[in-house]
Amino acid sequence: MEKTMKNFMGERKETGPEVSQKEHRRSRKPKFEVGKPKQANDKKKKDKKKKQKLSTHIAKLGLEVFPLIFAEIRESNRQLRELNSVIKAYILDKLAAWDAEDKGF
């Protein structure tokens, strides 16, 4: 009573008493992908850990430090805006110079 069986790759194999159970198990499609953990539980755990770390960090800093941190952030943003304007002006000057050279020929 020889039967053929398809595995998940589409290959046909002989089944019968001489075929071991191990080959049968290997020919079945796995119910999960190897190497990938369950996403739902891990995401919840990671979110929980992030919240815990953030809350302990805030508690360590204290509330009086936050205005100073925000002032530093505002100052660095202002400096970045100034730097961007300088870079844009330089690029526009270069483009204008190249246009003038092209018109000269």
pLDDT of residue 8: 58
**How many Å apart are CA 98 and CA 105, to the nearest integer?**
11
**How many Å apart are CA 100 and CA 105, to the nearest integer?**
9
pLDDT of residue 86: 97
pLDDT of residue 59: 76
Q: Which residues of the chain have pLDDT under 70?
A: 1-41, 104-105
| Closest C-alpha to 3, from 11, 23, 13 | 13
